[in-house]
Chain A
Amino acid sequence: MFTDDWDKLTADQRFAARMDAWQNTPIEFASPDVAGAFRERVQLWRDAIELKKPARVPITPWIGLFPLRYSGFTGHDAYYDYAKLGQAWDKFHADFRPDGLAMTIAMVPGKVFDILDYKLYDWPGHGVPNDASYQYNEREWMKDDEYDLLIADPSNYWQRFYVPRMFGALEPWQTLAPFTDLCEAPFTAPFFVPFALPPVKQMLQKMMDAGDAAMEWLQAFIAIDGKQMATLGIPQMAGSSTKAPYDILGDTMRGTRGLMLDKFRRPEKVKAAMERLVPLAIDWALRSADATRNPVVFIPIHKGADGFMSDDDYRTLYWPTFKAVLLGLIEQGLVPMVFAEGAYNERLEAIADPDIPKGRMIWMFDDTDMARAKQIVGARQAIGGNVPGSLLTMGTPERVDAYVKDLLEKTAGNGGFFLGTGIVLDEADPACFKAFCDAGRTYGAAV
């Protein structure tokens, strides 16, 4: 890892070691100035996270397909044509120079999805128009009577029940035995028998083809992000991601509606399943973070927003296992960057939990009262976000400027603030987006 004595380090020492590693990422920068700009930008992040006053408020919008549209390309281009994706990224970052890169990982590889016959989502040319982004197919991908299977052995449940539904090409995995069968000589041959079946062989071939397509995507991704970092000195927004256990179940397994009904019909099983998912959610982020050397963990959260449940349910159902994930990440020196989509006004007291170490995570908000968020959550953790997508799409540069000025005056005075958007931007008026960045640079240095 980052030090020889990692196991003996405290969480604070691990945080410092990871931050140092991020700031000194081994990149061949285009010039010493660019190298300096990279270090300065990471310092903005570091100061804001630690609730200090940075030299300037970091400008960290969530960016989706906007760069593609800005360059005259489509969502289909983003997911299938890495040359166009690279061009769009070059132009966007050179023109706007935010303090975190657009999230290339969200530019998913259509070819991999095609090979695997991915069912969970529709994507451009495959169920949604070419200029749209990928969209989730809300369905009960996990059945209501499968909680016990999930709780007993999540890996087995994933491999033999959930994944074969998720990918048409992986349906034959249902016929395979669990890997846990493999523990003694006589059990070995029976485990391998299904691999002789033609559908399983075809499945393995498709997995290898998907691997080739995924490798092509990864190489493009590394080249595109690497170029932005080396020539502009802009760090990646995050080095890993994970999810809240309630959202893992509610987003793509039981579905929003399914999980809401489970809350009434089988509450104990929902809790047991979430507890089972905690170590998986921590491990998921940790493996990527160790590889990327970027300590920021992107965590979009959805199904605990205002209106989605009562405050009591939030505190007893949603928060305990999410908090366990956050604490597990912070213990490893990682920095959860939570994106609370929707409104979080009713949750501010709950998430300002004194058990979460101060200055060790970031709460990015959407449709939340930012003055209250600053007062309640901002006293313990960095906050940010909130600039509405509708304003950046349909507003005027003057209104954007006034909005950002007011937002920063309310929230950024004593540091601990990230200027960001309330949504992942798939479209924006370039003049409005420029006004957003310019206002961040002007008022973000002055407050």
Chain B
Amino acid sequence: MSNELKEAVIELREDDALRITDELLSSGADPLTIVASCKEAMDVIGQRFASGEAFIPELIMAGEIMKGITAKVKPHLAAQAADEKLGTVVLCTVQGDIHDIGKDIVASMLDIAGFDVVDLGVDVPVTTVVDRVREVQPDVVGLSGLLTVAFDSMKATVDAIGGAGLREGRKIMIGGAPVNEDVCAFAGADGWAKDAVGAVELAKTWVGGA
């Protein structure tokens, strides 16, 4: 654990965080302690987001810093066993909608929280979602959309997953700015979240990790 690194990440001092990472690695520090420091820092940022002290730019900047640190640490981690994952999430923006920012933040927050994330991208046809769910057998399916046309696509996707007999043992969540209780009921999803932290909490509840 490096408190100095943890503080730098929490305070979003990108240059400092990367410099400290370099110093730790060259001084022979265990790369897993670097990862642990970052995870603790991300937890703090996530809590700040949930309590309204941090916002989307802070999440994105933190994700960017994490990406930089991971790139440096990864070569040193090759031989180490991968962490145990909380579960698997298949995620996409539904057909007819190409908005990716919300989905991307959810993907990176889920990843940091310990989920295996399979991101199918944007404007994803119903059949592709069904095929990948069948193949990946995720615990959770996340469907994102910003436009009102996405409501119909969400419903079609949820229906198709059910029609293919793939709902058993997994949950479907939806999200995006206009999504609410009404949209959730319309689409027939198991739940919805207002933001990325809400989505992570929901997924954790479902896999029994919260």
CB distance A390 to B55 under 8 Å?
A: no
Question: How distant is the Cα of A122 from the Cα of B151 in the complex, in angstroms?
Answer: 20
Stretch at the interface among A33-41, A126-134, A156-164, A178-186: A126-134
Residues of A within 8 Å of B161, CB to CB, are: none
B66 to chain A: closest CB distance in Å?
A: 13
Question: How distant is the Cα of A137 from the Cα of B97 in the complex, in angstroms?
Answer: 11
CB distance B96 to A132 under 8 Å?
A: yes
Whether a CB of chain B sits under 8 angstroms from the CB of A391 is yes
Whether a CB of chain A sits under 8 angstroms from the CB of B98 is yes
Question: How distant is the Cα of A388 from the Cα of B195 in the complex, in angstroms?
Answer: 18
CB distance A389 to B55 under 8 Å?
A: no
CB distance B183 to A260 under 8 Å?
A: no
- The proximity string for A residues 108-140 relative to B, scoring 1 for CB distances below 8 Å and 0 otherwise, is 000000000000001000011101110111100
CB contacts under 8 Å to B, within A165-190, are none
Whether a CB of chain B sits under 8 angstroms from the CB of A155 is no
Stretch at the interface among A53-61, A205-213, A303-311, A322-330: A303-311
CB distance A389 to B148 under 8 Å?
A: yes
Residues of B within 8 Å of A137, CB to CB, are: 98
Question: How distant is the Cα of A37 from the Cα of B203 in the complex, in angstroms?
Answer: 55
The 6 nearest A-B residue pairs measured at CB = A260-B57, A390-B182, A394-B186, A260-B60, A264-B61, A135-B98
Question: How distant is the Cα of A425 from the Cα of B60 in the complex, in angstroms?
Answer: 30
Question: How distant is the Cα of A395 from the Cα of B53 in the complex, in angstroms?
Answer: 35
CB distance B96 to A129 under 8 Å?
A: yes
B184 to chain A: closest CB distance in Å?
A: 10
Q: Specify the chain A residue showing the minimal Cβ separation from B13.
A: A264
Whether a CB of chain A sits under 8 angstroms from the CB of B77 is no
Q: Specify the chain A residue showing the minimal Cβ separation from B57.
A: A260
CB distance A426 to B149 under 8 Å?
A: yes
Residues of B within 8 Å of A129, CB to CB, are: 95-96
What is the size, in residues, of chain B's interface with A at 8 Å between Cβ atoms? 30
Q: Specify the chain A residue showing the minimal Cβ separation from B61.
A: A264
Whether a CB of chain A sits under 8 angstroms from the CB of B64 is yes
Whether a CB of chain A sits under 8 angstroms from the CB of B147 is yes
Q: Which of A127, A261, A342 contacts B60 (CB 8 A)?
A: A261
CB distance B148 to A257 under 8 Å?
A: no
Q: Specify the chain B residue showing the minimal Cβ separation from A259.
A: B57
Q: Which of B55, B56, B100, B148 contacts A138 (CB 8 A)?
A: B100
A312 to chain B: closest CB distance in Å?
A: 10
Whether a CB of chain A sits under 8 angstroms from the CB of B162 is no
Whether a CB of chain B sits under 8 angstroms from the CB of A238 is no
Whether a CB of chain B sits under 8 angstroms from the CB of A263 is yes
Q: Do A307 and B56 form a contact, CB below 8 Å, given A256-B101, A261-B64, A264-B14?
A: yes
CB distance B56 to A388 under 8 Å?
A: no
Question: How distant is the Cα of A400 from the Cα of B98 in the complex, in angstroms?
Answer: 29
Q: Which of B55, B100, B147, B186 contacts A133 (CB 8 A)?
A: B147
CB distance B55 to A309 under 8 Å?
A: yes
Whether a CB of chain A sits under 8 angstroms from the CB of B204 is no
- The proximity string for A residues 384-427 relative to B, scoring 1 for CB distances below 8 Å and 0 otherwise, is 00001111011100000000000000000000000000010111
Q: Which of B12, B149, B186 has the most CB of A within 10 A?
A: B149
CB distance A307 to B182 under 8 Å?
A: no
Question: How distant is the Cα of A132 from the Cα of B54 in the complex, in angstroms?
Answer: 34
Question: How distant is the Cα of A131 from the Cα of B57 in the complex, in angstroms?
Answer: 33
Whether a CB of chain A sits under 8 angstroms from the CB of B99 is yes
Residues of A within 8 Å of B123, CB to CB, are: 128
Whether a CB of chain A sits under 8 angstroms from the CB of B121 is no
